[in-house]
Chains A and B, each alone.
Chain A
Amino acid sequence: MAREIDGYLRSRFLPHIWCPGCGHGIILNAVLRAIARLDLDNDDVCVVSGIGCASRAPGYIDFNTVHTTHGRAIAFATGIKIAKPDLHVIVLTGDGDASAIGGNHLIHAARRNMGITVVCMNNSIYGMTSGQYSPMTPSGRYATTAPYGNIERNFDLCELVRACGANYVARATTAHARQLSTYIEHAIETPGFAFVEAPTQCPTYFGRKNKMGGPVEMIEWFKKNSVTMAAAAKLDPAELAGKIVIGELYRGNAPEYTELYAKVMERAKEAAGK
């Protein structure tokens, strides 16, 4: 019997500060439902964020929570996880936070296979600073700092962390809230580094700048432009261009960092005792 998610909310701080139509609430809901299905106690979860719209999420949820400096959430989470390996450490981060200023920490946490879960709330834009382009803004899209259209290419963050050695990689948009929650649940259960990318709508900045309509139209856009892994396998690259591939993209079973370090401690104690 899964818990009610109300017990995980700091309801006195609601309503939240996110804009009307923002998808971050859908993702936060998916996170809490995953934690509820896993029946985790509030004290056993630690949620860490950096700076930006997504990074305000920890304030609303009743765990051990840290709202850190821009881009550094994963590095803070690394220290927490090493100090207390039994804690479920979850990083809630935005695309700018995770892939621009925090890109180095992302790839190294994946490489170490640090046992944390990173949920990247990817709205393809810097929302908190009002609409500048991010490393996840697709080419050709508009932003306040890309008034002639973005000439940079965006990351495939899932491919990136998979290449770095993550043990679990999945993607689902806010139009796929149930799958998203299931993937987050599996991510939390995975020993080792787990990454879930959640493309989400920012009607206020990304949607408006790119004439995509309101939140309903943007979610419809996600539905139309998402393909499952099975469907994607049948498409040629031209057909796949611009599509969002959703699903559990990768599962590995490389040893988790803090488990390896526990063995280092055993070896060190033996060596010191001799």
Chain B
Amino acid sequence: MPDKCNTGVRLLQGNESCAEAALLAGVRFFAGYPITPSTEIAEILSERLPQVGGKFIQMEDEIASMAAIVGASLAGLKVMTATSGPGFSLKQENIGFASFTEVPCVVVNVQRTGPSTGLPTSPAQGDLQQARWGTHGDHPIVALYPSSVSETFDLTVKAVSISERLRVPVILLMDEVIAHMRERVVIPCASDVVAENRPRPQMPPAEYLPYLADPDGVPPMADFGSGYRWHVTGLYHDETGFPTSSPAKVDYLIRRLHAKVESRVKEITFTASEFIDDAKTAVVACGFTARSARCAVRVARERGIKAGIFQPKTIWPFPDALIEDIASRVDRIIVPEMNMGQLVREVQRASNGKCEVVGYSRVDGEPIAPEEILARIEGV
């Protein structure tokens, strides 16, 4: 098995870690369009996928890439695409389609500065809200956000699992700094990677209703060409999969889509924290910024300041309850981020006025250093 050659302790970039994790999680189709700083993911998978019986295609644009992975997912494969900033904007149309038609897929967005072409290879964290609200209409989304090469591996596997199990597109938000930094990562054996599969129908084809949800809110999904014939449409549809404009059915569908994600917030929420239990000042940070924050908090503790850090690895759905709990115990929350305040507004909302919440933005294409956060912890 080709995966053998990559199992073990490796020194990998975040992009390499993402690609290897995708293979071990069972991703067997990747369609993409080159864009920095995500490109290595496509380059690696173009080489590795055919080795494991998977398929890669470089499409003519970002929109087509997103469409192609949805098509391949309908035909039964675990699928992924990867892009950056402007490409993520282009993919939104078909991310909305995948959300609405409940087609599992993973979309990696290695963020870069924006708007528009921005600074093509400089880091920014400006796509947090686009990950949630990038498409038109109402639909839930799941987005995971690693802070290291090792976390990138773990969260890529989780992204595939959540996408398959819940039949939702999962966004893996990454930071350019992590995509291109090299770190130690332990790649497990294929047999040690547990990635879930989409629920498949157990009933005979004649009885299959493609959008009749199981009690857990997720309908079983048949592969095209497997003897179950069904219709997929971006129009509002009932349990048969065919269009409906019945207000009751329209209302039911959109509420079910939300409920299947919201009812699982606990099981799909991943976080990390340090010194948070007795903290008076909490830092809430994501992605690369969480590393600087962790460093700042450790130095603050050495100086006798009761600081702690909370890192949401699941950014959507936002961990409201956990943030509110922290807010009720601390005096102040500091939210450093490489954008004009996309995370801090969520923290303020979730804090429910229970403590002071202050943001710190850096938007010059440079990552936030620990000293900058430490200065704010110390009340400068």
Centre residue among A79, A261, A271 by max chain B CB count within 10 A = A79
A67 within 8 Å of B (CB atoms):
yes
| A46 with B224, Cβ < 8 A, contacts A58-B231, A69-B97 known | yes
1/0 per residue, CB under 8 A from A, across B15-55: the answer is 00000000000000101000000000000000100110101
Interface contact B72-A75, CB-CB below 8 Å:
no
A223 within 8 Å of B (CB atoms):
no
B33-90 with Cβ < 8 A to chain A: 47, 50-51, 53, 55, 57, 59-61, 63-65, 67-77, 79
Interface contact A67-B231, CB-CB below 8 Å:
yes
How many whole Å from A245's CB to the nearest CB in chain B? Answer: 28
Binding-face segment, A135-143, A227-235, A262-270: A262-270
B229 within 8 Å of A (CB atoms):
yes
B215 within 8 Å of A (CB atoms):
no
Give chain A's interface secondary structure class: helix
B223-253 with Cβ < 8 A to chain A: 223-227, 229-235, 242-243
With the chains together, A259 CA to B11 CA distance in Å?
A: 36
With the chains together, A63 CA to B225 CA distance in Å?
A: 9
A74-105 with Cβ < 8 A to chain B: 75-84, 86-87, 104-105
* A interface bracket (residues with beta carbon within 8 Å of B): 35 or more
Chain B residues whose C-beta falls within 8 Å of the C-beta of A46 in the assembled complex = 75, 224-225
Interface contact A75-B235, CB-CB below 8 Å:
no
A190 within 8 Å of B (CB atoms):
no
How many whole Å from A274's CB to the nearest CB in chain B? Answer: 11
A179 within 8 Å of B (CB atoms):
no
With the chains together, A59 CA to B233 CA distance in Å?
A: 9
A186 within 8 Å of B (CB atoms):
no
Of B224, B229, B230, which contacts A80 at CB under 8 A?
A: B224
Chain B residues whose C-beta falls within 8 Å of the C-beta of A84 in the assembled complex = 75-76, 223-225
In the complex, 23 of the A-B residue pairs with CB atoms within 8 angstroms, ordered by the A residue number, are A46-B75, A59-B231, A64-B229, A66-B232, A68-B70, A72-B64, A72-B93, A77-B71, A78-B57, A78-B67, A78-B71, A79-B67, A79-B68, A79-B70, A79-B73, A80-B72, A82-B68, A83-B73, A83-B77, A87-B75, A108-B64, A265-B55, A271-B51
Listed in ascending order, the chain B residues whose CB lies under 8 Å from chain A are 2, 5, 29, 31, 47, 50-51, 53, 55, 57, 59-61, 63-65, 67-77, 79, 93-94, 97, 223-227, 229-235, 242-243
